[in-house]
Amino acid sequence: MELRVDPQGNPIIEQFSEEGFIDCVLKIRDLEETNNSYKFHLSASHEGEVLGINVEVVKGIKGGFDSETSLIQEHVYKKGVIFRRSGIESDRLIAVLAKLYGFDKKEIKMVQEESFTGIALHQGEINMVSEPIKIKIFGKDSEKDVENDYYESFFNLDLANGFVYWNEKDQEYREPLIRGLSQ
């Protein structure tokens, strides 16, 4: 499968969308490793515009399930994935997502920061640097959050190849996701 990119090497964000789902591909740039996390900027392109967002992912995330596919509570990471606004390109990202999801929201601005609970969808050990890792992320999932604001998606991280595949879990989460990421 050939990756379509713009002249700056940014992938066309929705190129892998199919069957009514909007699945996004973004390029990892400026990867920085800290003691506890990986920080990077994600970029993509849509209709000639550059989209982007800053992200932080907990380092050393462990498989969320045991050999019998039971959830391991110690491997549920509150603030496992954090999105941070990087400027106008983040506003464009949220606006493009809203458009792709079928919402008419032209003037939209991303929140400064949104954190997600993350669970790695694998069993056993994984080397985040050399192996792709599939992470299910949960937004607005604390007890104090309003039930209608809750949403989920998949944040599949491939540090070795420099891409993130941010995929929808269910179309019913579109509106809460856009509300959660916009101000």
What pLDDT digit, counting tens, does each position of 46-97 carry?
999 999 999 999 998 999 998 888 999 999 999 999 999 999 999 999 999 9
pLDDT for residue 66? 87
DSSP class of residue 2 equals P
Per-residue pLDDT tens digits for 136-152: 999 999 888 777 899 99
pLDDT for residue 124? 80
Q: pTM higher than 0.85, yes or no? A: yes
Averaged pLDDT, 29-44: 97
pLDDT for residue 61? 92
Reduce the secondary structure of 73-130 to three states and give it as a string.
HHHCEEEEEEEECCCHHHHHHHHHHHHHCCCCCCCCCECCEEEEEEEEEEECCCCCCC
Q: What is the mean pLDDT of the chain?
A: 93
